[in-house]
Amino acid sequence: MTGFAPSMKKDGNILVITYWDFNEAHIQANVLPNLKILSTCIAPDAVIYLFCFNKRKITGPERVKLEQQLASFRIRLLFFDYTHFGIRMILRYGWLLPYLCLQVFRKRVSHLYAWCTTAGAIGYMVSVITRKPLILESYEPHAEAMVENGYWHKGHYAYRILSFFEKKQAQRAAYVIAANSGMKSYVRERYKYSIPDAIFFSKPAMVDLNAFYPDEQLRQEIRNKLGFRASDVVCLYAGKFGGIYLKEEIFDFLKAAADHWGRRLKILLLTAHTKEEVLQLAARAEVPGDHFTILFVNHQEVPGYMRAGDFALCPVKPVPTKRYCTPVKDGEYWATGLPVLITPDISDDSGIIASTQTGAVLTGFSRKEYDNAILELDQLLHQSRVLLTTRIRELAETHRNYSIAGRIYRAIYSPAK
């Protein structure tokens, strides 16, 4: 299946395999917007079947409502109960694989999409059994990243299994749409396999530019609602602490920021962490709790609250594989016009931020590095706000525009020449 660029059938139905819950941000902010664009590149009667591992059952009226919302894009839903990757999940493949293969034939699926490498392992097996072409979406390292972040070790059965499938899915793929252009060299060096140029594309996580955008009036409304003054410096973070993200280190940074800006610093967290969890971390770093505003909001509300910020955090742990990832939040921050504090070598984003002087790259985790980054951010915040937000917005329009996805999908579905 490799070595050439086959043209996918426009009139064939598609099975999209993910490893996420339908309600997770990965689906809502990444997968669904891409599938809506994909629906414009295939035949008007072709159907896209979206498969999700749901933590909560979605049945009856709720499911009907969801499918009605997606009907104009010809997206239909297939759900399976979620289990963490492990022995139980492997045992469940005994039913999962026959189920998916049956759906391929019942739904007249002509080819498969697998989103990220965990779903890619499932997609690979379904592709082998059904002999349907496989397209990899958001292909990036996962097995090695789990080791780097301390979840697995290299002798762990899950690491060995997923490493095997990361290689096999790349070898089988009719097309590879990587999260970063560097994935081509990563696969060559790690798996001793060269993905043919003709089938390789790179596409970072896109952002909805119509939802995330700077708006001074809306900004003032949300800041007034939250009790922020015009002179306050609002540090925004949308996400969690721990795992692939920094934890104690980011609160140490916030301590330095509080020392620099004093009572003017406001920390707006859009997170699923409880207030108790956040304040415990804050107390360890000696950051006064009254600096924090802690909210849990649905994804539709995120753009509004982002506008309240003056700068934003992307505290991804700077482990080697993160050079090949694509943080969704950076695109959302950029589209909103926010300077970003980021760690080194995160996708292309760290380099973009450094070269365009639209934020600060945190080069280490000492008080000196925190203070240096804060000074860089403070200098940016003294510039014309309108000019700064316009300049940062252009980063999203250039690097995270959904037009990139459209170009890739049209190339895949263009007639072979």
| Ordered DSSP codes for 262-292 | GGGEEEEEE-SS-HHHHHHHHHHHT--GGGE
Q: Is the pLDDT of residue 299 over 90?
A: no
Residues 227 and 158 in one domain: no
Whole-Å CA distances, 273 to 150, 190, 238, 240? 21, 36, 11, 7
261-296 pLDDT, tens digit each: 999 999 999 999 999 999 999 999 999 999 999 999
Residues 35 and 179 in one domain: yes
Task: Provide the 10 A C-beta neighbour count for residue 60.
Answer: 8
Residues 88 and 153 in one domain: yes
Residues 24 and 169 in one domain: yes
Element (H, E) at 233: strand 233-238
C-alpha triplet 8, 185, 344: angle, nearest 5°: 115
Whole-Å CA distances, 214 to 33, 130, 389, 404? 21, 47, 7, 22
Task: Provide the 10 A C-beta neighbour count for residue 263.
Answer: 12
Residue 86: the pLDDT is 66
Separation of first and last alpha carbons in the chain: 17
Residue 150: the pLDDT is 84
141-152 pLDDT, tens digit each: 988 988 888 888
Residue 93: the pLDDT is 66
Residue 18: the pLDDT is 95
Residue 300: the pLDDT is 86
Q: Is the pLDDT of residue 1 over 50?
A: no
Residue 218: the pLDDT is 97
Is 359 contained in some domain? yes
Is 2 contained in some domain? no
Which of the two residues, 224 and 327, has the higher pLDDT score?
224
Distance CA(320)–CA(326), nearest Å, equals 13
Would you state the structure tokens that stand for residue 256, as one six-digit string?
């330095």
Residues 62 and 143 in one domain: yes
Is 8 contained in some domain? no
Would you state the structure tokens that stand for residue 364, as one six-digit string?
């280490």
Would you state the structure tokens that stand for residue 125, as one six-digit string?
């097996």
Q: Which residues of 229-245 are buried (b: 16+ CB within 10 A; e: fewer)?
A: eeebbbbbbbbebeebb
Q: Is the pLDDT of residue 390 over 50?
A: yes
Residues 37 and 150 in one domain: yes
CATH code: domain of residue 115: 3.40.50.2000
Q: Is the pLDDT of residue 416 over 60?
A: no
Residue 90: the pLDDT is 67
6-19 pLDDT, tens digit each: 668 778 899 999 99
Closest CA to 214 of 35, 14, 387, 361: 387
* CB-based burial label for 89 (10 Å; 0-12, 13-18, 19+): middle
Contacts of residue 220, Cβ cutoff 8 Å, sequence gap at least 6: none
The structural domain count of the chain equals 2
Residue 55: the pLDDT is 77
Task: Provide the 10 A C-beta neighbour count for residue 128.
Answer: 13
Read off the pLDDT band of 414 (50, 70, 90).
Answer: confident
Q: Are 291 and 265 in contact (CB under 8 A)?
A: yes
Whole-Å CA distances, 27 to 50, 194, 205, 207, 286? 10, 30, 12, 13, 37
Residues 194 and 304 in one domain: no
Q: What is the crossing angle of helices 349-356 and 385-399, to 10°?
A: 140
Choice among 25-29, 325-329, 368-372 with the minimum mean pLDDT: 25-29
Place of tokens 């920390």: 267
Closest CA to 166 of 203, 117, 125: 117
Residues 277 and 384 in one domain: yes
Residue 302: the pLDDT is 94
Residue 273: the pLDDT is 94
Residue 243: the pLDDT is 87
Residue 4: the pLDDT is 54
Residues 306 and 170 in one domain: no
Average pLDDT of span 31-46: 94
Sign of CA dihedral 29, 30, 33, 36: negative
Distance CA(96)–CA(134), nearest Å, equals 17
Read off the pLDDT band of 2 (50, 70, 90).
Answer: very low
Choice among 80-84, 142-146, 171-175, 304-308 with the minimum mean pLDDT: 80-84
Q: Which domain holds residue 32?
A: 13-206+402-412
Q: Which residues of 22-58 are buried (b: 16+ CB within 10 A; e: fewer)?
A: bbbbbbebbbbbbbbbbbebbeeebbbbbbbbbeeee
CA atoms within 13 A on the CB side of 85: 19
Is 19 contained in some domain? yes
Choice among 150-164, 177-191, 192-206, 283-297 with the minimum mean pLDDT: 150-164
Is 1 contained in some domain? no
Residues 177 and 253 in one domain: no
* CB-based burial label for 279 (10 Å; 0-12, 13-18, 19+): middle
Residues 202 and 252 in one domain: no
Average pLDDT of span 236-260: 96
Residue 44: the pLDDT is 93
Residues of the chain with pLDDT > 90, as a percent, come to: 78
Residue 92: the pLDDT is 67
Residues 63 and 172 in one domain: yes
Considering the chain, what is the average pLDDT of its residues? 92
Whole-Å CA distances, 211 to 253, 261, 300, 303? 30, 31, 8, 6
